[in-house]
Every structure is written in C-alpha cells, then in structure tokens.
Structure 1
Amino acid sequence: MRILQVSAELFPLLKTGGLADVTGALPLALAAAGADARVLLPAFPAIAAGVADARPVASFHAPWGEPALLRFGYIDGGAGRLLPTYLIDSPALYDRPGNPYEGPGKQPYGDNHRRFAMLGWAAALLAQGLDPLWRPEVMHAHDWHAGLAPAYLSFARQRGQGADVRSVFTIHNLAYQGQFGGWAFAELGLPPEAFQVEGLEYHGDVSFMKAGLFYADRITTVSPTYAQEIQTPEQGFGLDGLLRARSGALHGILNAVDETVWNPATDAHLAQRFSMPEGRRMAGKARCKAALQHELGLAVDERAPLFIVVSRLTEQKGLHLVLGGIDALLEGGGQLAVLGSGDAWMEQAFRERATAQPKRIAARIGYDEPLAHRLFGGADVVLVPSRFEPCGLTQMYGLRYGALPLVHRVGGLADTVVDCALENMAEGTATGFVFERFEREDYARALRRAFALYERPADWRRVRATAMRRPADWGTAAEHYLTVYQEALAH
C-alpha cells in the first residue's frame, strides 16, 4: 500500500510538540509492516537541512500564484532506516527562522493560511500524479496544518482526478483549529460551495480543522477515550456536532513510543543506561537520579522523591495545579524539576520558586531534548495533570523510564495509566496515580498517595516494574492505521 503522510513537523528535524514524535515514528512503522510510506513536509530550514540529496521532482503553483518546487530525498530515521521524503520548496513561505507557526514576537504569521494551504495543495497534487514515478493510494493528513488536503482531494475527485485515492485525517489536538477570517477563502482555490456550513465555513471564518473533518474519508484521533470526548460539547470546541455526525468514520488509535529513541537500555543521553533485567532495585536508575540532581543543582539525596514536569507551560496542561501544590510537595520531602516553555506568567512563577529554593526546585525554560531524556531517566514521578489531553506522550515516556505518572483521568492519560488503587495493586496492574476531578483537592490527594507509595519501597519497585513492562510499540499502532486505510479504500 502506498501511503503519503502529510505534516508540518517531524522528529528529529523539527519539533514543537507530540505531533512531531508521531509523524516521525508512524511512517517508519508502516514501512516495517510492508507499506510504501512517504512523507510530505514544508521546507522549513531545519527540515530542509535534514533531507539528504533532495532532487527536483516537479514545479507547480499555489492557487494564488505562489511558485513552488517539489523535491524528493531521504531523512535518516536512525537504526539504518531511511524515510522517503517530499519537500515543498517555497522560500517566500517557509524560509524563516525559529518556530514554524509564529514570528519572533510569538504572534502567528499573517500569511499562515497561505503557508499551510500550500501544504494541503501539494499533497492533493501528489494524489493526482504530480510525481510521475509515485502516487499514493492513501493520503494521511495530520492536524489542522494539513486540513485542506482532504478538501482539495475531494473536489479533485469530483473532477475525475485522483479518483482512486482516499484520505485520512488525524486530530492531534482539537483545541488548535487553524481558523482564519472569511477573507482568506478567496485565496485557497476551492469552489464557492466549500464555503458553507456543509464545508469548511465556521461562524463566517475558514477552519482548516473543519475542512479535514468534513472532507476526509476516515478520521482518526490519538486515543480511544479522546475519540469519545471530542464528541461532547465540553471537549468538542464547537465541532462536536460534526464529529457526532461522522462518528462512523472516527477511530481512536493510541499513540506509541519509538523505542529506537526512547529506551533506557540504549539511551546515550543517560548517565547510565538501565533496564528491568538489571534487577528490581534499578541501580542504574539510581545513578541517573543522582547525576540529574547534581546537574540541576538540587540536593543529591536518594531519599527525596524527584517529581518532574516536561511540558508546554500552559493552563491546558494543568500546571497551575502543580504550582499550587509545590508547598505540599516540598513539605513531603520531594524535589521538583521543570522543563518547558509557554505562558510568560507561568514561566516566571516556576523561575521564582526555583530561585527561592534552588536545592529543592529547578526550572529550565525552553526545550532541551537530551535533558528531557535525563529527566525521565532520573525521575521518580512525572506530573501530567492536564485539563484535557488527546493522548500524551510524556506519561508514556515516564512509564518506559520507570518514572511513575501522576495524571488526570482524561483522554489518552486515562487509556495508558492504571491507578495505584488497592484492587489494582492486588492484581499487579497499577502503573501510576490517577485523579478524577480537575480540582486542587483531587490533585493534592494523588500527590499524597505518591508519597505514601514511595515510603513502601517494595511496593514502589513492583509498580515501577509493571509500568516499565507496559507495551507501547508503534508496530501495533501501525497495524491499526493500516486497518483504517483499508476501510477508507473500500469506502
């Protein structure tokens, strides 16, 4: 099966969140399952620099006249794997430093509607034969940035072009919808009938997310629980009615972990590699913890449970709960290490707490991939108290590295973490700490339960061993996606 993955970012070349981890791992897993998988990406500087020998394939123009060149090369996927890659070479749109979505002032670029319409347009042209040597059977578009791809393909099929190609659209986070004023529609090259309620019109605006949801042959999202949640007014962000109407085409497929990148037994970023076979006491992890404490300027104390946050620093991630619970965490004898960036007030709040108690709290503002690995390697608990969470990879990395997740029971967090309730402890299924209501009191109780379990080393080691054994491989996820592709092709 020939599959084109369409995305705005891809690990390890360009990453702003979990989307890049998924789009970096899924095509390689599909290839391992026997599929002919390729990716299509904008030629942002960081991406273009990582694609070897990108040769010209075809030139084309956007609907508003912007010229572009399609190139083809390969990304090194690690472990001897090569990922076939198409690049959209359009310097006027993509040759900009820093974040792919925002300018230096953290404001979205004013021409983002063009920049990401170009991504969808190029995908649809590939489905219609832009590359004379390769044409996909399935076009898989990821998140709002690629949301116009299914729309362009749908109208092309009505004209008899790309008629045998099917589209799949994946929601990675419904809260970010790619919404632009209605004035933008005139530049998109879609017929007038697309700008209506039964199309991509949304309260007078253009919604790239709605385009993907309305026109794709199949829709997926990144966990089974989130697939149910987004059909409710509480988490549907105004699109729950459309999602309920299309529930027969909607599938929740849980994200996985790329074990060539996230594996404590082979992770070169760690002070010492470790795995379960070394023994339940995990001497290697203990050395990672001591090294991390030293690196961050924390007191080197094996008895102090080390809690970490590796996240965007936003209210959606529930980190005001962490800020409000810092005093209780310290009173319990714990330490806290934070890595991330986001809302300025939250960055400053974590900085101030770290400055006040540098031996107990560390805050690193920004993102540092090697440090993230060391944090998971040394941590005892990873805090993921999100208000909503489509899937979440942070808790999966924690499970893999023996850092027990403390999570709000929502979305993919509910699908991946089993609470240390008595019955789960007795059954040997517990892997972390789960609280039900998004309230300070519920978070505080979960925090106390984490301290209580830490005071019982034998039980702690048993839960940690269960967590580290939890399967989360991309091979299984890829098989689920292949089933969805087959359904789309049979549609």
Structure 2
Amino acid sequence: MKILHVCSEFYPLLKTGGLADVLGALPQAQNQIGLDARILLPAYPAMMAGIPNTQIVAEFDNFAGHIILRYGQYNGVGVYLIDAPHLYHREGNPYHDIYYNDYGDNYKRFALLGWVGAELATGLDSWWRAEVVHAHDWHAGLCAAYLFNKGRPAKSIFTIHNLAYQGQFSYHHLYEIGLPSGMFHVDGLELYGQISYLKAGLFYSDAVTAVSPTYAEEITTPEFAYGLQGLLGGLKAENRLVGILNGVDETIWHPSCDSYIAHRYKLKSLTGKKKNKAALQAYFNLPQEERALTFVMITRLTEQKGVDLLIESADEIVKQGGQLMILGSGAPHLEDGIRHLAETYPQNIAVKIGYDEALSHLMVAGGDVILVPSRFEPCGLTQLYGLQYGTLPLVRKTGGLADTVVNSTSETIKNRSATGFVFDQATPEALRQSLQQAFLLWQKPRSWSMVRSDAMKQDFSWRKAAAEYFALYQRL
C-alpha cells in the first residue's frame, strides 16, 4: 500500500514542535511493517541541505508560479521536496519571520503543499502514485479539498496534532489557490467568513485522527473544539474520528542508546542515571546533591503548557529542598517569570531560555520528575520520553497525558500500574498538591524504585501506532 504523508516539518532537519518528531518516525515504522510510505515537504533550506542528492520528478507552472518537484531519500524513507525558492527559501521558522509575524503569503505556500499532495495521487510522479494521502495539521489541510475537487482519486486521512492552530485566511485568496467558489460555504471551506485550511482537512477527508484517544474525545466538546464541535461531533458519530496515540522513536529517545548523553543506562542498571543527574546539576550550576528531588521541564513557554501554574507553585519545590531546571522559550512575560524564579532561588532553580537538543536529552536522562502541567495537550511526547528514561512524569489529566500516565496512589503502586503523578484542575493549588505527592513518594525509596521500574516497562513504540494506522487505511 502506497502512503504519502504531507507535512511541513521533519525531524531532525526542521523542527518547531512534536509534529516533526512524528514525521521523523512514523513513515519509517510503517515501512518496517511492509507499507510504502513516503513524505512530501516544502523544500526549506534545511531540507535541501539535509537531502542534497535529489532527482527532478516533475516541473510545472500553477497558481504558485514555477515549481520543481524533487525526490530523494532520508534514512531510507522516500522524500518529495517542493522546490519553490520564492515561497520556501527562508531561513529559520517555517511559518513566521524573526518578529513572529506570519508570512503574508502563507495561504499560497501551504495551498501549494496541499495541491502537490493531491497531484501525487493522480500521476504527477509517473513511477509512484499515492493510494492514501495522509495530511498533518492545517498546513496540509487543503490536500483533501484538492482531492475532492479531482473526484477523490485516493483515500485521504487528516491528523490533528493541535486544533488550536487553524490556518485561517481571507476569502478573496480562494481565487488564487485554484479551488472553485462553490466550495466556500459552511459545508466546505468556510469558517466564520474565512477559508480554514484545518476545517478543509476535517470536512473533506475520509477519516480524521487525533494524536490520542482522550484528545479525540475532548475536541468534540465546546471547551476544546474552537467552534468546530458540531463538525467534530458529526465525524465521531459517523465513526470517522479516531484517536491514535503517538509513539516514541526508540533509536533517538532511549537511555540505552541515546547518542546525546555520556552515561547510558537501562532498567536493570541505573548507575548512568545518577551520573547524568550529577552532570545536569553541574551544567545548571546547582548543588550536586543526589538526594535532592530534581524536577525538569522542557517546553514552549505558553499558558497552554501551564508555565504560569508552575511559576505560582514552584516555591513548593524550594521549600522541600528540591531542584527545578527549565529549558524553553516563548511568551516574554513567562520568560521573565521563570528568570525571576531563578534569580530569587539560585540554589534551587535554574533556567535556560532557548532550545538545545543535547541539553533536552540530558534533562530527561538526569531528572527525577518531568513536568507537563498543560491546560490541554493533544498527545505530548515529553511525558513519554520521561517514562522511557525513568523520569516520572507529573502531568495534568488531559489529552494524551491522561492516556499515558497513571497516578501513584497506594492502590496503583500496589498493583504495579502507577507510572507518575496526575492532577485534575488547571490551578496552582492542584499542581502544588501534586508536587507534594512527588516529595512524599521520594521519601520512600523502595516505592519510588517500583514506580520508576514500572514506568520504564511501558511500551509506547511507533510499532503500535503504525499498526493502528495500517488498520485504518485498510478499513478505508
């Protein structure tokens, strides 16, 4: 079965979030179970540099100008690159400039991505034709609309990685992207008077997936649906909306083979974890105390991620003699807030503003608890990394966090299902109580070791997700 993934990010060549990690792992896992999965991406500078040996598949002119379609391979996976320098040759973030202003031609840049995705199901590559077009997030949402306009030559899947980002553009752009005006209505592309690329993916696809079962349920409610609860509720009723949990790429994120950490370890030999903790404390210039409960957080600094909740409750960590290390960037007021914490408690809290891939691996390997107190979280990957590395996740009960972490209570510890700490309400008080719960368990080393061991035994590999997607493709 020939599968084309259409997306805008790809780990390790270009990453702004978890979407890149998914596309860096899922197609490879699918190929390992006998599918022929390929990827379509814009030819950003990072993509061209990372996949230098390409051949020209097609050359054409359309609404977006003169386009060259290239094909190459990366880690054994076939990759198509849309070579259009006037649209994609921009360094840095693929969506906005250095001032965080969205590019004014994003409507055209990502319409082209969807258009080429549909064309690869109709013979644009004379040697390979997609049977299933699997589009990811709003950037690829128009894929299904173009396929619909062509008479549905292939089956289409749309995966929601984050419903909060919808790709909305002015109606007048419809005439510039090669779609008929008849598709602009409530049963089509229109959302609140604008074109919604995300809604196009939802409405026109044969099936829609969310990146966790709980998130698939949540997005049918007004709280999480951003005005799309009617459409999503209808998809659920028709059995066209399903939740498939993301996985972990064990070739990159596993303590026994992690190339970023100096001290590798495994479940039956955790000496390396202690050494990584000491190295992490040294990196952040915090006291190298093995018995200090160490919390780590690697995140975009936004309210969605609950950073404000942590700022208001972090004094609990200090009060109990713990340590907190944060890596991330984002909203200026939250950056200022965590800097102030580090300045106020220099012996307990340290911060690095920005992103550092190697440091993120050391933090997951060296921490005792990884914090993910999100207000909403479609799937979440950092808590999965934490489980893999025996760094117990402390999470809010939402989305994929609810699906992957079991709260440590006397009962769950006894029946060996506990894997971390879970709180319900998105309040500083609830987070504070969960922090206290972590300290209580830390004071019982035997119980802590049991929970850590059970956490490390969890299986969230991409093999499981690949098999679930295959079953969905077959159903279609």
Native 8 Å contact 2:313 2:429 kept in 1: no
In 2, Cα distance between equivalents of 1:294 and 1:359: 12
Partner of 1:385: 373
Structure 2: distance between partners of 1:167 and 1:61:
25
2:127 is aligned with 1:133: yes
Task: Specify the SS of the correspondent of 1:10.
Answer: coil
Residue in structure 1 matched with residue 19 of structure 2 by the alignment:
19
Deviations 1:40-93 (A, max 9, x none): 00001111111141111101233x2411100000113xxxxx111000000000
How far the C-alpha of 1:355 sits from its partner, in A, is 2.9
Structure-1 separation of matches of 2:295 and 2:262: 18
The amino acid that maps onto 1:55 is Q
Structure 1 unaligned blocks of 5 or more: 77-81
Give the corresponding residue for 1:79: none
Structure 2 gaps, min length 5 = none
Residue deviations 1:233-259 (CA, integer Å, cap 9, x gap):
110111111011111101100001000
The residue that corresponds to 1:231 in the other structure is: 220
Among 251, 274, 283, the alignment partner of 2:242 is: 251
Residue 3 (structure 2) aligns with: 3
Aligned partner (choices 442, 450, 453) of residue 454 of structure 1: 442
Whichever residue aligns with residue 21 of structure 1, its letter is: D
1:72 aligned residue: 71
1:405 is aligned to: 393
**3-state DSSP of counterpart to 1:124:** helix
Map 1:19-418 → 2, pairs under 5 A: 19-62=19-62, 64-76=63-75, 82-157=76-151, 163=153, 165-247=154-236, 248-278=239-269, 282-418=270-406
Deviation at 1:357, TM superposition (A): 3.0
Q: Distance in 2 between matches of 1:174 and 1:65?
A: 27
Is the 8 Å Cα contact of residues 64 and 108 (structure 2) preserved in structure 1? no
> Residue 318 of structure 2 contacts residue 345 of structure 2 at CA under 8 Å; is this kept in 1?
no
8 Å CA contact retained: 1:4, 1:136: yes
Q: Contact (CA 8 Å) 1:383, 1:406: kept in 2 or not?
A: yes
* Identity %, equivalent residues: 51
SS at match of 2:225: coil
Residues in 1 aligned to 2:260 and 2:89: alpha-carbon distance in whole angstroms:
31
Q: CA deviation at 1:185?
A: 1.7
Which letter maps to 2:452? Answer: R
Q: Which residue of 2 aligns with 1:426?
A: 414
Structure 2 letter corresponding to 1:174: L
Q: Is the 8 A contact 1:220 1:252 kept in 2?
A: yes
- Equivalent-residue separation in structure 1 for 2:463 and 2:215 (angstroms): 21
TM-score under structure 2 length normalisation: 0.98
Residue 378 of structure 1, CA deviation:
0.3
Q: Which runs of 4+ in 1 moved over 2 A?
A: 355-359
Counterpart of 1:14, as a letter, is L
Amino acid in structure 1 at the alignment position of 2:323: Q
Checking the alignment, whether the CA contact within 8 Å between 1:39 and 1:86 is kept in structure 2 is: yes
SS at match of 1:97: coil
Write the distance in 2 (CA, Å) between the matches of 1:477 and 1:360: 39
Match of 2:264, SS state, is coil
Which stretch shows the higher mean deviation, 358-367 or 369-378?
358-367
Greater shift after overlay, 194-203 or 43-52?
Answer: 43-52
- State how far apart, in whole Å, the 2-side matches of 1:166 and 1:141 are: 11
In structure 2, give the amino acid aligned to 1:84.
G
Separation (CA, whole Å) in 2 of partners of 1:245 and 1:68: 38
Cα distance in 2 for partners of 1:6, 1:354 equals: 41
1:172/1:179 CA distance change after superposition, 3 Å: same
State the alpha-carbon separation in 2 of the partners of residues 118 and 216 from structure 1.
Answer: 18
Question: 1:277: how far off?
Answer: 2.0
Which residue type is aligned with residue 276 of structure 1?
Answer: L
CA contact (8 A) 1:52 1:75 kept: no
CA drift of 1:152 comes to: 0.2
Distance 1:329 1:448 in 2: 8
- How far apart in 2 are the matches of 1:144 and 1:308? 31
Shift in Å at residue 365 of structure 1? 1.0
Determine helix, strand or coil for the equivalent of 1:140.
strand
- SS of 2:407's partner is coil
Structure 1 SS opposite 2:301? coil
Find the aligned partners of 2:436 and 2:345 in 1 and give their Cα distance.
21
Measured on the aligned residues, the alpha-carbon RMSD in Å equals: 0.9
- What is the distance in 2 between the residues matched to 1:416 and 1:105? 36
State the distance in 1 between where 2:442 and 2:454 align: 15
The 3 A distance-change label for structure 1 pair 69 and 328 is: same
Please give the secondary structure, in 2, of the residue aligned with 1:153. Answer: helix
Structure 1 position 366, deviation (Å) = 1.1
Q: Is the 8 A contact 2:54 2:71 kept in 1?
A: yes
Alpha-carbon deviations, 1:426-472, whole Å to 9, x = none? Answer: 10110000001112211111110000001111110110000011001
Q: Which amino acid aligns with 2:43?
A: A
Q: Secondary structure at the match of 1:276?
A: coil
1:134 aligned counterpart, secondary structure: coil
TM-score relative to the length of structure 1: 0.95
